[in-house]
Amino acid sequence: MEQLAWQKSTFSGEDADCVEIAADGELIHIRESDDPATAITTTKAKLSAWLQGAKAGEFDHLIG
């Protein structure tokens, strides 16, 4: 994996471990900030579908 520009949510705070995300063409990479060597990869289309579901509340039961 080449050098990626990792980004985290501003809701995570400065020192908090969090999920980070980076784009590489049509691929999206996701990792935990406290385990940066391990990442999963998906496509922009699949992530977009998941985010639409999250915004609609489909996964709220996992955190509530």
Give the type of residue at 52: Q
| Statement: residue 10 has pLDDT above 80 | yes
At 2 the pLDDT is 65
- Percentage of residues in the chain having pLDDT higher than 70: 97
Tens of pLDDT, residues 12-33:
877 778 999 999 999 999 999 9
Contacts of 31 (CB under 8 A, 6+ apart): 6, 19, 20, 38, 39, 40
pTM score, whole prediction: 0.82
Select from 39, 47, 3, 1 the least CA-distant residue to 19.
39
Select from 9, 12, 50, 6 the least CA-distant residue to 24.
6
